[in-house]
Every structure is written in structure tokens, then in C-alpha cells.
Amino acid sequence: MRRRRRLARGLGSSAAVLLASAVQAQLEPSLFGAPAESRVSVQLLTDADPIGPDQTFHIAVRFEIARHWHMYWKNPGEGAIPPSIRVTTPPGYVTSEVLWPRPVAVTTSLGQEYSYFDEVVLFVPITTPATLGDATVTFRVDMQWSVCRRLCLLGSATREITIATSSRPGATRIADGGTNGRLAAFKKRLPKPLATLEGSQIQFDRSVLTLTGPAGNATRAAFFGIDRPGVEFGAAEVTVGDGRFRVVVPVTLAPQNTGGRPMAVGGLVTLGKEADDPSYDFVIETNTLPGLSKP
């Protein structure tokens, strides 16, 4: 079943869905057709109500995952397909990239997988127009995901959420206590930019990435690289000592393999072992590096 998951991951999303369904039917006939929706329930929440003009708030997509099953982080490692979220907004609203809480690293026979168990909340930042009325606005959210145990099931859902709007500047009221404080709990797990960690340093010479910084009370750290076109990470060497962490990772850049898409080196450093322990992310735009040929 791991082989099926690796094959699916290497294809485009539509082809992956077809392949996953076909091989699932062949290898798991007793479970073919079992709905992924029976393993995952989806709920839309918001951290702001009402929302005012020229403000940023979040639509939060809460996935509750059946016991022993798991879903994936944006870089699944040697796993299946991460969730995809597409928000349809009224004119004038601007969405930003999905924010992903710190995942759990699981070692498998194929390598590392980066997963979520039991529950995860993903956040979509949305900026409101400069002018709003006193009314309501509805957002449509289309989602797809894979949920895995001995096999992977592919699921999808569409939900809508309606939020009050206010014409008053500064009217957006952020409240993270919804659903028994789950929004606040998962916001705490969102990585902070590594550049904001005082005493941290990022060095990249186009072949070796070195990250250092204060570890606080943590005695362990980990590095999760982000898969991007034209970027391949080697095995990371991670050490913690004297209150600091150090990550050294070989990186191979292949501009000819980007398909014309922007190339960047990014990843996540986690400290400690608990889900709400600190984590820090970073992105290096490689077009800012001298001497790097373009595709």
C-alpha cells in the first residue's frame, strides 16, 4: 500500500485521484467505496465576527479525524496527498496562502511522513475590501484530502460560512475561543518566521543550508524541508547543545526542473516534541542568490 501512495504523490491531483481509486479497488476490495467522509468530518469556523473594512481575519477549516487514521501536512513526506483548500470569495476580498500548524513526524519504512492525528485546524487568511456595508457575506470553501491508515481514502467536501460585515473601520473583532478554544490551541501551533527569532541565523551558499538559533529549554530539534520544484534536500544533521540548535542540510538546486515556476528553498524547524512547542519556518527566494542560472 505504501507503493500506491508513492505513485499517487508523483502525479497531478486528477491523475492521482484516478490512480488511487483504481489501485485501491484492486488491493483493498473490501474497503473500496468506503467514504473518506466517514473517517473525517469538516467544519468551517472564523476568528472574526463581524469583519470590518481593510482588515485581515481567518476562515478556519477544522478536520476531525477518526481514531488511528491520519491526514497530512503541506509536505507529506513519503505519504499521500495533503489537503487542498480553495476559497471562493465575493469581489474585493483577497485570500493568502493556507497556514499549517506544526505536524507530527512519523518514521516509516520509506522515510519520514508529516502528519496530523485526531484533529487539525488549517487557517486561510482573508483581507477585506477597503469599503464594506453593514450586511453579511458568504464564503464557499471547496476541500479535498486523503486520510490514511492501512490504506488511503480520498475525500472532498464543500461548505459555506456566512459572516457579518460592518462599515465601521476597525470593527473586526478577533475571538479565538470558538469550539472550546480549538482555534486558539491551533493558532498556538502555527510556526513563526525564523527571522523573528532573536539570535537566529540562516545561511545558504546554494549547496548547503545552515540554520542556527536559541533552543530555549528544548533538548531536541527537527527539520522538515518543503518540497518545491527544482529543490531537493539531503539528510539533515540536527544538533542541540548549550541552549542553541544547529541544522545543516545539503541542498541540490535544479532550475531546469522547475517548469518555469519560481524556485525557493523553505522549511520548518521544530523545537521540543509536543505539538504546541515552538516551531519556525523560513523561505529563501533563490532568484536573489548571485550566480544561480535561470531555466
Asked if pLDDT for residue 83 goes beyond 80, the answer is yes
Asked if pLDDT for residue 150 goes beyond 60, the answer is yes
CB atoms within 10 A of CB 251: 19
Asked if pLDDT for residue 94 goes beyond 80, the answer is yes
Over residues 111-147, the pLDDT tens digits come to 778 999 999 999 999 999 999 999 999 999 999 999 9
- 2-188: CATH topology is Immunoglobulin-like (2.60.40)
Task: Map out the domains of the chain as residue ranges.
Answer: 2-188, 192-288
If you average pLDDT over every residue of the chain, what do you get?
A: 84
Residue 60: pLDDT band (50, 70, 90) is very high
Asked if pLDDT for residue 245 goes beyond 90, the answer is yes
Residue 288: pLDDT band (50, 70, 90) is low
CB atoms within 10 A of CB 94: 11
Asked if pLDDT for residue 187 goes beyond 50, the answer is yes
d(CA 247, CA 221): 9
Output the nine-digit C-alpha cell for 100: 499549517
Output the nine-digit C-alpha cell for 277: 512547542
Residue 106: pLDDT band (50, 70, 90) is confident
Domains 2-188 and 192-288 fall in the same CATH topology: yes
CATH architecture of the domain 192-288 equals Sandwich (2.60)
Supply the DSSP string of the chain, one letter for each residue: -HHHHHHHHTS-HHHHHHHHHHHHHHH-TTTTT--GGGTEEEEEEESBSSB-TT-EEEEEEEEEE-TT-EEEEEEEESSS---EEEEE--TT-EE-PPB----EEEEETTEEEEEEESEEEEEEEEEPPS---SEEEEEEEEEEEEEESSSEEEEEEEEEEEEEE-SSTT---B---HHHHHHHHHHHTSPEEGGGSTT-EEEE-SSEEEEEEE-TT-S-EEEEEPPBTTEEE---EEEEETTEEEEEEEEEE-GGGSTT---EEEEEEEESSSTTS-EEEEEEEGGGSTTPPP-
Integer CA distances (angstroms), 229 to 10, 128, 251, 290, in order: 12, 32, 13, 19
Question: What local confidence, expressed as pLDDT, does residue 250 receive?
Answer: 97
Over residues 2-46, the pLDDT tens digits come to 434 433 443 344 344 433 433 343 334 334 445 667 799 999 999
Q: Between these two residues, 30 and 188, which has the higher pLDDT value?
A: 188
Beta bridge partners of 41: 64
Average pLDDT over residues 219-241: 93
